[in-house]
Amino acid sequence: ATSSYTAPTGFASRTPPYAHLLANLREVNHILGKPLTLAEKILYSHLCNPAESLANANGSLANIRGQEYLKLSPDRVAMQDASAQMALLQFMTCGMPLTVVPASIHCDHLIVGKEGAETDLAASISTNKEVFDFLESCGAKYGIQFWGPGSGIIHQIVLENFSVPGLMMLGTDSHTPNAGGLGAIAIGVGGADAVDALTGTPWELKAPKVLGVKLTGHLSGWTSPKDVITHLAGLLTVRGGTGYIVEYFGEGVESLSCTGMATICNMGAEIGATTSTFPYQLAHKRYLEATHRAPIAAIVDQVHRDTGFLAADAGAQYDKVVEVNLSTLEPHVNGPFTPDLSTPISQFGAVSKAENWPQTVSAGLIGSCTNSSYQDMSRAAHLMQQAADAGLRPKIPFFVTPGSEQIRATIARDGLIDVFEGQGAIVLANACGPCIGQWDRTDIAKTSSESNAIFTSFNRNFRARNDGNRETMNFLTSPDMVTAMIYSGDMGFNPVTDSITKEDGTAFKFVPPHGDDLPGQGFIAGRAEFYPEAEPQPQPSVEVSVSPTSDRLQLLEPFPAWNGEELATSVLLKVEGKCTTDHISAAGVWLKYKGHLENISNNTLIGAVNKETGEVNTAYDLDGLAYGIPELMIKWKKEHRPWCVVAEHNYGEGSAREHAALSPKFLGGSMLLVKSFARIHETNLKKQGMLPLTFADETDYDRIQGGDVLATKDLADMIARDGNNGGVLTVTVTKRDGTQFDIQCKHTMSKDQVDFFKAGSAINHIGNLKKQ
Ligand code: F3S
């Protein structure tokens, strides 16, 4: 009777179109005739036109994976407040009356963490009122669900409300893959990609390869889901997942909670993976039911029983397989300054001494989208209760960030917040706060030149990420490890084996943490004011106003179209080493200008290190005078001198921050030449009409200096051939003394991306199409 898998009443926008997806998948199976991984089943069932996208398969998946550009039709879009501003400003330029797919806006990034939820929230609402009002009015006008400040962190709310096995969604945040914990394919993108989905324009993705992670054994004791991914980050490095979807399988999956799987998928972003996902489990059904979606759970269950859609086909081949034995896995601590520097807790004390890291920890923080589930909170509270019963008090400040109002209200009802606050913890607003540089820390100045160490349950630890202080070393670990650590404060402390000496001289040792994956009495919603209308309808009469004098919001002017000529660009900066999107477009205080392209562009590349001088935020004009990097960009833009940046590996790793592509384009950049790109950033650059190139021979990096002119020779030819999905371009390097040599550079431009380049940006191109 339910073979059409019709969405139950009231759940229409939250149920994937299973009948359509299964019909698409039948066509895919017919074309490919091969067993598919789960990732491929979900992705390919969302193809706009399977026959077209898979035409070159010729009986082998190897001809698709890592080769073909897929045109996809995602089911949903989620946007956080910082990135939603630019996404919506771009959407507005397309002139559409409503979005084609359901979407949601989440106000989480702009909320400061300082004294505690109530005070911080009120202060943040007052500071950001103009932006929140803009987002709310956009939501009302276009029928987008608006989750206001204090309602929770985007990924936790998506998990609780929108993620469903088999769903495909885009999110304007790099940790969007969190939703893969509930069997979705959820991909972090820039605002321009989100506009594709919002306008019903096919969204393009190079078909990822599939990395299988086989989990054996089962989790127990001190080891938690976080340790699976912190361990994998060490194994695979920040580049190891580039071009891959990570798909978990094996009997070990059964010992994971749904929220634990979400933690693992969340931090797949730290290994550069396109996304991560898990096959359908009983834990998924239980989580859907617990989060008030029993009718969806019933359909999902039936879809899987009838068709096996929500797991890999028997015999499916992965491009690579890594195995992790959960039974022998130790807790890990990752950092500082990179998420792939992974140390098992048993070795951490010795390593920290050998590395000369601070020997005391200055603060502990738990929560964030990575680790703010009921299970995380209840395990942390279990440890704190043990310490409280033993008469211990934390030695260092401790902050707790619940992931959503539903989590906050439920842990308050169940007495967990009493346990935290009883031990002096500060419970912050349901928001990102200290995870994104919004920690208004009072104990250590931002400008302090002395190193300090913090333990967090977050996912990212680039310099200045949390408190704006470049000397703060953020060690990423499980909430369990953070919580135990606050009672010792000693970097050498290993709660698995060590005791803490109490004031009376006796020893106290924690027993391993225990927590429920779901609340025994069910979730409660909490304060009604934090919840939006379930199925908002567009209200075309709503005015979205942007003041011309605002310093927070600015309407967009289209970038100029390509003039049809080869590029001749001067090297403004040669970047040394790691250059993440935090280096290219810093967060923290700059978050406030996310909706104002001109103002935020004053942060462009201010964290980058000049290879030739070792200086940060310093570039040299042709006359040898030093400038701040954005200042020189502005100067060269005024002088009509197109410029480019040369850099090393994994350029643009980190977040999905599209300002890292928008700002350079806005300030007159036209080309990037690097050893390799992080996927999202490379796509973002193409969406803004930039030309991203990589060295065919990496040693050519050493031959280029600031002030050299890089001129393409066969760009027009590549454009005429619609990019050909990648190839080689010749670039002539002219040195300051006039000598010249040619180098070979690789590009990965598809036909659509060539169209973006020609139009000046993807948004210009979509706007042109809609006008036609
Ligand atoms: Fe927010 Fe940090 Fe997650 S910024 S979305 S809590 S990674």
Judge whether 593 and 552 are in contact, CB under 8 Å: yes
Q: For 332-367, what is each residue's pLDDT tens digit?
A: 999 999 999 999 999 999 999 999 999 999 999 999
Residue nearest to atom 1 of ligand 1 (CA): 432
pLDDT, one tens digit per residue, over 643-678 is 999 999 999 998 768 899 999 999 999 999 999 999
Tens of pLDDT, residue by residue over 98-135, are 999 999 999 999 999 999 999 999 999 999 999 999 99
Instruction: State percent of the chain over pLDDT 70.
Output: 99
Among candidate residues 276, 247, 259, the one with its CA nearest the CA of residue 180: 276
Instruction: Say if CB 258 and CB 284 are below 8 A apart.
Output: yes
What's the pLDDT band for 725 if we cut at 50, 70, 90? confident
CB of 558 closer than 8 Å to CB of 90? no
Closest CA to 523 of 370, 427, 420, 409: 409
Q: What is the mean pLDDT of residues 549-560?
A: 94
Contact 262, 368 (CB under 8 A): no
Residue 534 pLDDT grade (very low, low, confident, very high; cuts 50, 70, 90): confident
For atom 2 of ligand 1, which residue has the closest CA? 435
| 147 CA distance to ligand 1 middle (Å) | 15
Q: Which two tokens stand for residue 121?
A: 């929230």
| Alpha helices (H) in 291-403, listed in sequence order | 294-307, 345-354, 374-389
* pTM, entire model: 0.91
- Beta-bridge mates of residue 361: 453
Atom of ligand 1 nearest to the CA of 80: 5
Tell me how far CA of residue 236 lies from CA of 260, 270, 658, in angstroms: 20, 10, 25
Q: Whose CA is nearest to atom 3 of ligand 1?
A: 369
- The CATH number of 12-209+274-313 is 3.30.499.10
Comparing 12-209+274-313 with 334-439+449-493, is the CATH topology the same? yes
Q: How far is the CA of 18 from the centre of ligand 1 (A)?
A: 30
Cβ partners under 8 Å of residue 770, min gap 6: 94, 95, 96, 199
Query: Which residues are marked as active site?
Result: 108-109, 173, 460, 655, 657
**CA 368 to ligand 1 center in whole angstroms:** 6
pLDDT of residue 1: 38
pLDDT at 770: 76
pLDDT for position 740: 98
Find the 367 Cα to ligand 1 centroid distance in Å.
Answer: 9
Residue 29 has pLDDT above 90, yes or no: yes
Backbone angles phi and psi of 627, in degrees to 5: -135, 160
What is the pLDDT at residue 656? 66
Mutating to test ligand 1, I would choose from 229, 436, 591 the residue with most ligand atoms within 8 A of its C-beta, which is 436
Distance of alpha carbon 620 from alpha carbon 486, whole angstroms: 46
Q: Residue 302 pLDDT more than 90?
A: yes
- The atom number, within ligand 1, closest to the CA of 401 reads 6
Report the amino acid identity of residue 762: A
Q: How far are the Cα atoms of 18, 46, 74, 139, 310 from residue 166, in angstroms, in the given order?
A: 8, 10, 11, 26, 6
Give the residue, by CA position, lying nearest to ligand 1 atom 5: 369
Rounded Cα–Cα distance for residues 424 and 34 (Å): 57
pLDDT band at 190 (very low <50, low <70, confident <90, very high): confident
Band of residue 3 on the pLDDT scale cut at 50, 70, 90: low
* Pocket residue to mutate for ligand 1, from 111, 147, 432, most atoms within 8 A of Cβ: 432
DSSP 180: G
In CATH terms, the superfamily for domain 568-771 is Aconitase, domain 4 (3.20.19.10)
Q: Are 362 and 443 within 8 A, CB to CB?
A: yes
- pLDDT for 271: 96
pLDDT at 626 over 90: yes
**Which residue of 155, 270, 401 sits with most ligand 1 atoms within 8 Å of its CB, as the best mutation to test the pocket?**
155
Amino acid identity for residue 169 in this structure: M
Give CA angle at 685 (572, 141), nearest 5°.
130
- Distance from the first to the final alpha carbon of the chain: 43
Which CATH fold would you assign to the domain 334-439+449-493? Aconitase; domain 3 (3.30.499)
* Ligand 1 site residues, Cβ closer than 6 angstroms: 108-109, 153-155, 173, 175, 368-369, 432, 435-436, 459-460
Alpha-carbon span 162 to 159, nearest angstrom: 6
How far apart, in whole angstroms, are the C-alpha atoms of residue 119 and residue 113?
A: 9
Name which of 51-55, 331-335, 495-499, 587-591 the model is least confident about. Answer: 587-591
- 2 CA → ligand 1 middle, Å: 38
Q: How far is the CA of 467 from the centre of ligand 1 (A)?
A: 14
Q: What is the Å distance from ligand 1's center to 369 Cα?
A: 5
> In ligand 1, which atom is closest to the CA atom of 155?
5
For residue 460, the ligand 1 atom closest to its alpha carbon is 7
| Sequence spans of domains, the chain | 12-209+274-313, 334-439+449-493, 568-771
The closest of 13, 26, 639 to 306, measured between CA atoms, is: 26
**Mean pLDDT computed over every residue of the chain:** 96
Alpha helices in 577-652 (DSSP H): 581-584, 597-600, 629-638
- Which atom belonging to ligand 1 lies closest to the Cα atom of 435? 2
Confidence of residue 2 (pLDDT cuts 50, 70, 90): very low
The greatest distance separating any two alpha carbons of the chain, rounded to the nearest whole angstrom, comes to 80
The SS3 assignment for 678 reads: coil
Structure confidence by residue, pLDDT tens digits, 69-103: 899 999 999 999 999 999 999 999 888 999 999 99
Question: To test the ligand 1 pocket, which listed residue (79, 104, 109) has its Cβ within 8 A of the most ligand atoms?
Answer: 109
Closest atom of ligand 1 relative to the 436 alpha carbon: 4
Say what angle helices 191-199 and 81-93 make with each other, to 10 degrees.
50
d(C-alpha 717, C-alpha 720), whole Å: 5
Q: Where residue 589 falls among pLDDT bands split at 50, 70, 90?
A: confident
**Reported confidence tier of residue 455, pLDDT bands at 50, 70, 90:** very high
Cα–Cα dist 89/81, whole Å: 12
Reference 486, options 347, 304, 364; nearest CA is 364
